[in-house]
Structure 1
Amino acid sequence: MSVFNTNTRVAVIGAGAMGAGIAQVAAQAGHPVQLYDNRPGAAAQALQGIDRQLGQLVDKGKLDAAEREAISARLQPVESIEALADAQLVIEAIVENLQVKQDLLRQLEALCADDCILASNTSSLSITSLAAGLRRPQRVIGMHFFNPAPVMALVEVVSGLATDPQLAARLYQLAKAWGKQPVHTRSTPGFIVNRVARPFYAESLRLLQEGAADCATLDALLRDAGGFRMGPFELTDLIGHDVNYAVTCSVFDAFYGDFRFQPSLVQKELVDAGRLGRKSGQGFYDYREGAERPPAAELQSTARVDRCVVEGCLGVMQPLLQRLKASGISVTERPGNGLLRVGDATLALSDGRLASQRAREDGLSNLLLVDLALDYTSAARIAISKAADTTAQAQDQAIALLRQAGFSVSEVADLPGLVVLRTVATLANEAADAVLQGVGSAADIDLAMRAGVNYPCGPLAWAEHIGLGYTLRVLQNLQSSYGETRYRPSLLLRRVHAQGGHLHD
């Protein structure tokens, strides 16, 4: 196989949003690119769309007009697949159907030279299965771009069972030369991103189903406390519930019904009703003309507090003290078990137990649990839940303290792990299992989740920030509360914690 350079002839099959985006990326990197689609005129129409997008970049001063012309000149629409015979790299971005893709690859193998690389942009299909039956399966590889391809940085370089390791290394370097952030992954269900991301949707869907809070509040908490760019309900509305639900079902089936990946009845009902999100006008939210987005629930307080007591270290919540002091709260620190007391109220970081359970087991009265935040010094919102015997006065005092520190405070029902904490813990757990099973390295998995779905922090790095022991405790308490294997802690988390090591070692 020849070395990649800007003379390497690239062909892209499929002129939809993904195919056109990949063609644009390759042309911007300097390659001559052929774009083919079996729909007459679709390739030419897609290239007109690319030229318009490049024109917008010129108007914004982000691209030189001469470079726009050069990029467009490197893009050629073709009306027959036979025109791709001289391509050195073919990337297919057609319908996500195994049989259709296999048929295309067999056709390309007969058409193209033996050293032509055949890449698939599949987001969920097995590269091993796609290559099966070909004469040269070692030249088949996955190059999974993320939508929109010209903007999103991540490319998953996916190796099937027969893929030549040297080819994977070369495609990794090619993706870097195209300005992308590539990661290596094995061809397992969901690869990295579509596997590890499942808990982000699944936990909020479960919280909604169990009456923790409404969609707007749960979304706001994951944005304003967790630092995620979008909450799960607004994100699935954007993706489309038919697409998101289908991916979940695909991963669930591929893992032989492992309960960790169980699809949600709440989302299925939306799909059954045709409420697919933005594209249909309704999903979790209403996008029809005149509809207004409901606000997140926010607690108010009539109390006034000016002092609190901190007993021991608050763990990952310790930076909250800096914020309390900056807001004029007098903070007294003394030894203890990681509790914050204000008036009659006792506050503590959730450890995955129900607030009522923890109050009873630890002998704490008027207990309110505080959720995880990405950064307690700057988070705009925080979630709390309360034990059943917490008085209205104690709750009011706790709310007053947090509001005076500048938080919007949202209450969620007394459920294990609250919102951000259980989401982060389950994301880290799934990421750890992916490392354990050789799907990708810890560094690549964290990078994939940041670059591919804009997570504010890689889930494994986040678990280490919280503390592996604490993350394990949260998962164990979740598993104990629900009695389900869904929350079973990864063996890798257990092993690394027992060894006193780090996940990125």
Structure 2
Amino acid sequence: MTAIERSRTVAVVGAGTMGQGIAQVALLAGHRVLIHDIDGALAATGAGLVRDRVERMAAKGRLDRAEAEDAAGRIRAAEGLADLADAALVVEAVVEDVTVKRALFAALEEVVSPDALLATNTSSLSVTELAAGLAHPGRFLGLHFFNPAPLLPLVEVVSGSATDPAAAERAYRTVLGWGKTPVRCADTPGFIVNRIARPFYAEAFAVYEEQGADPATIDAVLRESGGFRMGPFALTDLIGQDVNEAVTRSVWESFFRSPKFTPSLAQRRLVQSGRLGRKSGHGWYPYGEGAQPAAPRTAGPEEAPEKVTVVGDLGPAAALADLIEEAGIAVTSTAHGGPYIQLPGEGQLVLADGKTAVEFTDVVYFDLALDYREATRVALSVSEDTSERTLAEAVGLFQRLGKQVSVIGDVPGMIVARTVAMLIDLTADAVARGVASAEDIDTAMRLGVNYPLGPSEWHTRLGRDWAYDLLHHLDERCPGGRYAPSLALFKLGYADDGEADGGAAEGDAAVDEAQEGTG
């Protein structure tokens, strides 16, 4: 199935910001473009704004002058739906209302040719539901662009229950030809990005609600240790707390209030108070004149230990052994036991595993990092039973490695580790349910929300049983289903080697041995 020919017309219904952006993408790809809106004046304004953007691109040398003039002549406002009769593709970008959208597509069916594709740019409504009642639902699908459409490369190509595979393929190839990166997705709540991204916000809010750390510290740890572009508190302030919470609530309701997607009470209170983020002048953080940026909690200087012992295989934190040695601290290694780093005062440094420090004597947990060499901050978690000497040695050790240190509360799974584990779990479940391929999900999360790695890439890097073990421990400490590992993750971690039962027991035994005599 080939892409829609450049000689064919593309129509966009809805002349708002998103509609204008989609029209610009199709226009610069070489199509004749029609913009329609129920408000004719808005359609004319929208077409004019697209021409202005194309002109500015030419003025800045980003587009050839002749190409810009040609494009300006290929876009116009449509006075009525009848003007869209020759369109090979109509993309709808109107208000997020099922009744409005269904009425629009029913009217479009009466106008366009039988081979025309009809697409919705909805980010939250069911493509299958929108197609209900159409005479030819096979040609109907979702094309979910991300704002701003001319700049962001990702487009989710969403097939509803009745979508003809040939129609989805034609749309996919068309979007690819427009210079975008399309990913295939089944019609599921939130599609790919808005479904898989929920833990990035939810786990940060949960750590905050559990009194583990303040927003500035959580954001800093996810950025400077996890490698994420923005922290979830700052990002939701940018998006708008009302918008972000509405998406979370929509996904939660669509999954029959699954505990995996439970909204945050703290965020609900923000919305109720009118603290919606940047647009209202205050969200998690204050904005506007005189507002001071919030500083993350950072430990004061401590002396680094002169020597440590690395016990067992540190797995995802294996790079620390070399970093410690390069920093001038003597390192002794032993293969038996662990995994942990033995400090001189008999305390232990243990990578976050879903357990709590209070369960053991003199243990400091440290959080997961995307790259321990490049990370500029590391979070540590302690309990009231952790000795001052052990904490000081742990802080001093990471400071010697050039890291800033944030000491947070005794939160199982800490910050980065539990977030990444949940992202991996939701991805495994989505792949198993046929929502999208692991490769497409990774692509969507990297391009759609700027994650440093796709969840499946994290899974490969961390090891096949890492996320399962951490969530299993979290589920024991925070029962209710939120952290219960999916069957898909269980199969990925254990079932493929025929050691499901033995593997789980063996994983727990290794952690218990690391703490032998300390609990």
Report TM bin, short chain.
over 0.9
Q: Partner amino acid for 2:188?
A: T
Structure 2 counterpart of 1:34: 34
Superposition map of 1:307-326 within 5 A? 307-326=307-326
Say if 1:322 and 1:377, in contact at 8 Å, map to a contact too.
no
Verify: 1:396 aligned to 2:398, yes or no: no
Pairing partner for 2:436 from 440, 444, 459: 440
Verify: 1:153 aligned to 2:153, yes or no: yes
Pairing partner for 1:354 from 332, 353, 356: 356
Q: Deviations over 1:140-185 (max 9, x none)?
A: 1100111111111111111111110011111111111111111111
Report the Cα distance in structure 2 between the residues aligned to 1:271 and 1:420, rounded to whole angstroms: 26
Q: Partner amino acid for 2:160?
A: G
Structure 1 counterpart of 2:493: 497
Shift of 1:375: 0.6
Q: Deviations over 1:473-499 (max 9, x none)?
A: 101011101111111111111112223
Structure 2 counterpart of 1:135: 135
Q: Partner amino acid for 2:430?
A: A
3-state SS in 2 of match to 1:486: coil
Percent identity of equivalent pairs:
46
Shift of 1:19: 0.9
Report the Cα distance in structure 2 between the residues aligned to 1:411 and 1:49, rounded to whole angstroms: 50
Structure 2 counterpart of 1:256: 256
3-state SS in 2 of match to 1:276: coil
Q: Deviations over 1:201-252 (max 9, x none)?
A: 1111111111111111101111111111111111111111111111111111
Structure 2 counterpart of 1:340: 341
Superposition map of 1:52-71 within 5 A? 52-71=52-71
Q: Deviations over 1:291-318 (max 9, x none)?
A: 1111111111232433222112111000
Aligned in 2, Cα 1:380/1:311: closer, same or farther, shift over 3 Å?
same
Shift of 1:3: 5.5
Shift of 1:58: 4.0
Report the Cα distance in structure 2 between the residues aligned to 1:53 and 1:211, rounded to whole angstroms: 47
Report the Cα distance in structure 1 between the residues aligned to 2:141 and 2:26, rounded to whole angstroms: 17
Shift of 1:86: 1.7
Report the Cα distance in structure 2 between the residues aligned to 1:215 and 1:369, rounded to whole angstroms: 20
Q: What TM-score does the superposition give when structure 1 sets the normalisation length?
A: 0.95
Verify: 1:482 aligned to 2:483, yes or no: no
Shift of 1:55: 4.4
Report the Cα distance in structure 1 between the residues aligned to 2:399 and 2:102, rounded to whole angstroms: 58
Shift of 1:355: 1.3
Say if 2:3 and 2:174, in contact at 8 Å, map to a contact too.
no
Report the Cα distance in structure 1 between the residues aligned to 2:55 and 2:309, rounded to whole angstroms: 60
Say if 2:2 and 2:173, in contact at 8 Å, map to a contact too.
no
Verify: 1:460 aligned to 2:452, yes or no: no
Report the Cα distance in structure 2 between the residues aligned to 1:369 and 1:2, rounded to whole angstroms: 54
Shift of 1:68: 2.7
Aligned residues: 495
Aligned in 2, Cα 1:476/1:100: closer, same or farther, shift over 3 Å?
same
Structure 1 counterpart of 2:468: 472
Shift of 1:328: 2.3
Pairing partner for 1:406 from 399, 402, 411: 402
Report the Cα distance in structure 1 between the residues aligned to 2:169 and 2:112, rounded to whole angstroms: 22
Report the Cα distance in structure 2 between the residues aligned to 1:420 and 1:84, rounded to whole angstroms: 49
Verify: 1:230 aligned to 2:226, yes or no: no
Q: Deviations over 1:77-119 (max 9, x none)?
A: 2232322122110000111111110011011011212221110
Shift of 1:59: 4.9
Say if 1:21 and 1:149, in contact at 8 Å, map to a contact too.
yes
Verify: 1:114 aligned to 2:110, yes or no: no
Shift of 1:463: 1.7
Shift of 1:391: 1.3
Larger deviation, residues 83-92 vs 332-341 = 332-341
Report the Cα distance in structure 2 between the residues aligned to 1:185 and 1:460, rounded to whole angstroms: 16
Shift of 1:388: 2.5
3-state SS in 1 of match to 2:365: strand
Pairing partner for 1:449 from 442, 445, 449: 445
Pairwise CA RMSD:
1.6
Q: Partner amino acid for 1:419?
A: I
Q: Deviations over 1:438-491 (max 9, x none)?
A: 111111111111111111111122122111212111010111011111111111
Superposition map of 1:42-57 within 5 A? 42-57=42-57
3-state SS in 1 of match to 2:147: coil
Report the Cα distance in structure 2 between the residues aligned to 1:247 and 1:3, rounded to whole angstroms: 32
Structure 2 counterpart of 1:362: none
Runs of at least 5 residues in structure 1 that lack an aligned partner in the other structure: 360-364
3-state SS in 1 of match to 2:151: coil
Report the Cα distance in structure 1 between the residues aligned to 2:40 and 2:276, rounded to whole angstroms: 29
Structure 1 counterpart of 2:296: 296
Report the Cα distance in structure 2 between the residues aligned to 1:212 and 1:420, rounded to whole angstroms: 13
Structure 2 counterpart of 1:196: 196
Q: Partner amino acid for 2:7?
A: N
Report the Cα distance in structure 2 between the residues aligned to 1:346 and 1:148, rounded to whole angstroms: 48
Say if 1:31 and 1:74, in contact at 8 Å, map to a contact too.
yes
3-state SS in 1 of match to 2:108: helix
Q: Deviations over 1:398-451 (max 9, x none)?
A: 101101101111111101100000000011111111111111111111111111
Report the Cα distance in structure 1 between the residues aligned to 2:38 and 2:249, rounded to whole angstroms: 29
Shift of 1:2: 8.5
Report the Cα distance in structure 2 between the residues aligned to 1:80 and 1:178, rounded to whole angstroms: 26
Report the Cα distance in structure 2 between the residues aligned to 1:425 and 1:378, rounded to whole angstroms: 21
Stretches (4+) displaced over 4 A? none
3-state SS in 1 of match to 2:90: strand
Aligned in 2, Cα 1:79/1:289: closer, same or farther, shift over 3 Å?
farther
Larger deviation, residues 375-384 vs 73-82 = 73-82
Report the Cα distance in structure 1 between the residues aligned to 2:317 and 2:71, rounded to whole angstroms: 50
Aligned in 2, Cα 1:425/1:99: closer, same or farther, shift over 3 Å?
same
Aligned in 2, Cα 1:324/1:148: closer, same or farther, shift over 3 Å?
same
Pairing partner for 2:367 from 367, 371, 393: 371
Larger deviation, residues 57-66 vs 344-353 = 57-66
Superposition map of 1:274-289 within 5 A? 274-289=274-289
